[in-house]
Structure 1
Amino acid sequence: MPLHLPKSFLLFVCFIFGNSYFLLSQEKKTFWQKYNPEALANRRLSFVPVPVIQSSPETGLRGGITLDYFFNTDEGKESPDSLKTRDSFAWIQALYSTRRQLVIEPFWQIFTKDEQWFLRGRGGYLDFYERFWGIGNETLPRKEYADIFYARYYFQGRVLKKVHNRFFAGLNYNYSHIKDIELVGASPTLFGEAVGTVGSIVSGIGTTLSFDYRDNPFSPVKGWFLDISTTYYSRKLGSSFRYKEFQLDFRKYFRIGKKDFLGFQTLVHKTDGDVPLLELPRLGSPNIMRGYFTGRYRDEQYFASQIEYRKPFGKLLVGAVFASAGAVGTELHKIKASDLRYTYGTGLRVLVNKAKTLYARLDFAVSTEGDSGFYLRFADAF
């Protein structure tokens, strides 16, 4: 069921943020000296509470607060150029949407000294709502769908050891508990033989290989990235369903001239076994296949590729155009050309911190089937 937050709670959050903002801004500088766009873009980030406003077709408009913490474990180095360790960061956010969706989740990405170990993870609680058109490529029309309300507790963690340079290998663990599922406007035949329609617990462990040769994790303009993971979900680990999962994420970036560049990404998500309904791979997201509502198509296997061209305009603005193609199916080799879906769009990025090369982005994307959406997020899509 959707969670109804009392107005007093929302006012309390606004009060806490307002006082935090006031205390942080008590310096002997004028408002404009400290908060003009260029000053903000060059500000050092450490531990900062900031308001968040996001938008996507899945959530509508949502807002809240996030606490961001940036640090570096390579202590004792006076010059950033002499650091052997990339910056680490962590954040925790609490967001509430116009569709009464509540999300509370932390995220962390930590490099130990000299990058001997790489720790990454996220988790949290969601009181969420999503739309369901069916499984596979033969689904309900775009404007006809069932509503699914549910609560989810989840954790995803990795512990990786440096093998060579920026190549890491290690273990991953995933846990997801989905409960309190409510189906609205759904015919029993819509779900077919899907499992997990009344709830699910999945718990799995596996291996990860990660290569990260990008120049920047937030807005790369050169280099490449490859992440491959395999996870096995077993009843011995507390999972109520047994299946295996394979994921691949490859990205490559090319400079064009001195400032422009192209980015490419290919994503593959395969599952095999008794996969619960809400754990199936889904097409559409704020990052790839933008324009489609997340879950517009879902099945046991999914792949997508995208290309994005970015062009700077002055010091603070970057324009972008992008296009993507993807498909779902029971087997990747059985996917036909007619199963492919396409999206394209354009967007604008605004530099919010020069030291971290961190942008806020606003994208508008459409699909060849008539879906569309606005996306407001921090950091580039990939």
Structure 2
Amino acid sequence: MKSIYFFILFSAGTFLMQGQQKISFKDSLDHKLDLSDWVISAKGFIPVPILITEPALGGGGGLMAAVFIKPNTPYLDSIDGKLVKTRVKPNIYGGAGGYTANGTWLVGGFTTGAIKKWRANYRVATGLANVNLNFYRDFPTIGECSFEFNMKTIPFSAYLIKQINRSSWYAGLDYLFLKTELKNTNIDFNTPKEVNSIISRLGLLVDYDKRDNIFTPNKGFLFNSLIGASEDFLGSDYNYVLINSAAFAYLPISNKITSGFRVEYQQIFGDAPFYMLPYVNMRGVPVMRYQGDIVALAETEWRWDFTGRYSLVAFGGLSTAVSKQSNFQDSSWKAAGGMGARYLIARKLKLRMGIDIARGPEEWAYYIVFGTSWTR
């Protein structure tokens, strides 16, 4: 689901729907290309083309989603005698199908949004996927080896989090179900139990969001933390506990320069299949390339808005993946970074789009970016 929300908003501006009033694609202030009015006024079915640029999936591919968007009016609260408006997530419903250069394919459906009378946010997603991925393991005598797996999987994920009082804090439950069948098995890597298995994980999710906007933040703070347990009594074949926490801070340095900082920490305890181990998720590093029982990373991004519409971005970070057989002192830190460009495609939403080029420890990669690259 990562970045789909931003692609939905952008792609809305490229398709006409019957029965709508004529809407300008130029901003009223500078008369430049701008999709704010179209996105805000969009109703009904929206076809969404999405480029898949993930190196681990072959570096190329595409996904088409069919999406419906229903905006929500803001919450109105009286605080200290003043009427305060609080942003409410739009309700989004859709389905998608995609194919990548290495033969991976997927189909799925999702819904996300808010239940206003509960003052709660939710997300539900499910699908069917046939994924081709390489996984890596170090051996004492021969060093690191790569193993290619074909994974047929049926995922289902959902969460429901409720606003605490009238604050920016939300808390609730998160659930993950994953039925996975492996092909191209290897006795040196996977266990017989991992060939055909079920994950059923229930967790507590806490979220705090004080960013000025959810698309391309200029200031504010986001914290998200999940503690989840996969257990026999939930129908799982594995017993383990996962801690997954992240914090993002956005600080304006001047009218034209915005700095961003990201830290993440993941740790897993107990018996988990290799494909559920935490991994480094950072631009320039292929998915699942570096896994461990503990993963930690720190990244910074700096954006220079040298005109009202155009920006340059520079980013870089360090990450490490620590296995059971090692510790932080013995593990190596991997560096990745790069540069990119942005265009303010929807001024009223503060939504920027663009492209990033990044280099990790082994290879170059490129990423189509809508909004922020840091999502939870």
Q: Name the SS of the counterpart of 2:35 in structure 1.
A: helix
Is 1:169 the equivalent of 2:162? no
Q: How does 1:207-226 map to 2 (within 5 A)?
A: 207-226=204-223
Q: Does residue 197 of structure 2 align to residue 200 of structure 1?
A: yes
Change (3 A) 1:214 1:295: same
Aligned equivalents of 1:28, 1:253: Cα separation in 2: 37
The letter for the 1-side match of 2:334 is: R
Q: Give the aligned partner of residue 87 of structure 1.
A: 89
Match 1:324 to one of 317, 327, 349 = 317
SS at 2:349 equivalent: coil
The residue type paired with residue 297 of structure 2 is A
Alpha-carbon distance in 2 for matches of 1:147, 1:207: 33
Residue of 342, 354, 357 corresponding to 2:347: 354
CA offset digits 1:40-79 (Å, max 9, x no partner): 35423434223222312122211132234443333799xx
Match of 2:65 in 1: 66
- Equivalent residues in 2 for 1:96-107 (5 A)? 96-107=99-110
After superposition, give the CA deviation of every residue in 1:16-52 in whole Å (9 maximum; x if it has no partner): x9xx94655997689999xx96143542343422322
Matches within 5 A, 1:329-344: 329-330=322-323, 334-336=327-329, 338-344=331-337
| Structure 1: segments with no counterpart, 5+ residues | 1-16
Q: Distance in 1 between the 2:353 and 2:127 partners?
A: 23
Unpaired stretches in structure 2, ≥5 consecutive residues: 1-10, 77-82
Q: Which residue of 2 aligns with 1:54?
A: 52
Change in CA separation of 1:76 and 1:292 when aligned onto 2, cut-off 3 Å:
closer
Which residue in the other structure is 1:261 paired with?
Answer: 258
Give the letter aligned to residue 55 of structure 1: T
State the distance in 2 between where 1:223 and 1:75 align.
19
**Distance of 1:219 and 1:195 partners within structure 2:** 45
The CA deviation at 1:209 is 1.4
Partners of 1:224 and 1:252 within 8 A in 2 = yes
Equivalent of 1:239 in 233, 236, 241: 236
Q: Which residue of 1 aligns with 2:80?
A: none
For the Cα contact (< 8 Å) 2:251–2:258, is it kept in 1? yes
* Shift in CA distance, 313/105, structure 1 to aligned 2, threshold 3 Å: farther
CA distance in 2, matches of 1:295, 1:118: 29
The counterpart of 2:367, out of the listed 362, 369, 375, is 375
CA shift, 1:341, in A, is 0.8
State how far apart, in whole Å, the 2-side matches of 1:122 and 1:115 are. 21
Displacement after TM superposition at 1:309 (Å): 0.4
- Give yes or no for the alignment of 1:291 onto 2:311: no
Residue 336 of structure 1 aligns with an amino acid whose one-letter code is Q
Contact 2:359 2:365 in 1 (8 A): yes
Distance 2:212 2:150 in 1: 40
Counterpart in 1 of 2:135?
A: 132
- Write out per-residue CA displacement over residues 267-326 of structure 1, whole angstroms, 9 at most, x where no aligned residue: 11111111011111112x3xxx21111111212221111100011243433221101111
- Mapping 1:112-151, distance limit 5 Å: 112-113=115-116, 116-134=119-137, 145-151=146-152
Q: CA deviation at 1:155?
A: 1.7
Give aligned pairs, total. Answer: 347
Amino acid at match of 2:146: Y
Amino acid at match of 1:93: A
CA contact (8 A) 2:25 2:38 kept: no
Structure 2 distance, partners of 1:351, 1:124, is 33
> Do the aligned residues in 1 keep the contact of 2:23 with 2:37 (CA within 8 Å)?
no
The percent of aligned pairs where both chains have the same amino acid is: 20
1:240 deviation in Å? 0.9
C-alpha separation in 2, matches of 1:228 and 1:154: 21
Which residue type is aligned with residue 347 of structure 2? K
SS, match of residue 145 in structure 1: strand
Q: CA deviation at 1:231?
A: 0.8
**Letter of the structure 2 residue corresponding to residue 198 of structure 1:** V
Change (3 A) 1:330 1:256: same
Q: Is the 8 A contact 1:242 1:274 kept in 2?
A: yes
When residues 168 and 30 of structure 1 are mapped into structure 2, their CA distance, relative to the original with a 3 A threshold, is: closer
The structural deviation recorded for 1:381 is 0.7
> TM-score w.r.t. structure 1 length?
0.80
